[in-house]
Structure formats: C-alpha cells, structure tokens
Amino acid sequence: MMHRHAPIALVLAALLTSCSKQESPPATTPQPAASAPAPSSRDDSANVTHAKLNAGGVKASYAAHFDSDKLTRIEEERRAPDGATFNGEYTYQGARLLRYRGAKVAAPGTLELQFDLQGALQSGQGPDVTNEDIAAIRNRAQLLRSHALAQRSSQGHGSY
C-alpha cells in the first residue's frame, strides 16, 4: 500500500511545483490572468478601428470602437500645426452624437457637451462655450463617424 501512495505524492509534488513556476510570469507581466488572453486581444482588435485623417489642415489619429457593426465611441488625438496635441472623445448612439469630452476644435479650452437623441444640447453651454465651438464639434463628430464607418467597411470587405 505504501508504494501506491508514493507515486500520487510525487505527482502532486510535481503539479504544485509546476503551478508555482507558472504563477511567477503573470506577476511580472502586466497582463490580466484571463484563461485565454490571446482571444481577448483578437476580440479587442476586431472591435476597434485605428486610422489617421488629415481634414481641413488638422492631422488626427483615432480609435473607433464598435459593438458589432455599430459605432459607439471615437477617441481622437489632433495635432495642431505648432505640434500641440489635443484629445477628444465622442460617444454615439446610432448616427447621433450623445457626448463630447475634450479639447475645443479651433480654440484653446475644453468642452463637456451632452446631447439628447434628437441632437439638442442638454448640457455644456457656458460663457466660454460658443455656438461656433458646438458646431465645430458636431461637424468634427460627423466627419470622424463617416470616416470610421468607411474604414470599417473597407476592412470588412472580403470577410463575408
């Protein structure tokens, strides 16, 4: 009977040793301890479209986030001719801009705008926010949305 328990003890010791060795790399690697990290990164890349755009003399790069085929959010980084960088985040529901948070398009300052589903401004109007600022954000949001959908469509060609 002693011999039957000895191999089990060796197997358990080997398993514990291998488990303790596997725990060390995730501690040094900043990746989450998900059961399958590779598919997670594929899923993220499948739902995010990265692109660059130069419109109206404003160079920008953005990440457009999709839920299935629906655009939900765009994170934009604009570069001014003097090299300054400005960030903005646009949140959409369908074709509607629901929220913008970030730098003004054509002037210094930041905005936090919220719109309803009909496009009416709900919050964000203030003494330092002009109608031109709001119009510039709406136009930029539409431009980015159209560009992101076109990029997504061209990337999806051939996957059907």
**Is the pLDDT at 16 greater than 50, yes or no?**
no
* pLDDT for 11: 40
Residue 155: pLDDT band (50, 70, 90) is confident
Q: Is residue 48 a contact partner of residue 66, using CB atoms and an 8 Å limit?
A: yes
* pLDDT for 107: 78
| Residues in a beta bridge with 74 | 64, 90
Residue 98 phi, psi dihedral angles, 5° rounding:
-100, -30
Q: Burial code of 78-110, b = ≥16 C-beta within 10 A, e = fewer?
A: beeeeeeebebebbbeeeebbbbebbbbeeeee
Using DSSP, state whether 96 is helix, strand or coil.
strand
Confidence (pTM):
0.69
**Is residue 115 packed enough to be buried (19+ CB in 10 Å), middle (13-18) or exposed (0-12)?**
buried
Instruction: Dump pLDDT digits (tens) for 74-120.
Output: 999 999 888 889 999 999 999 999 999 999 987 788 999 999 999 99
* pLDDT for 108: 83
Amino acid type, 126:
G
Q: Is residue 97 a contact partner of residue 81, using CB atoms and an 8 Å limit?
A: no
* pLDDT for 71: 97
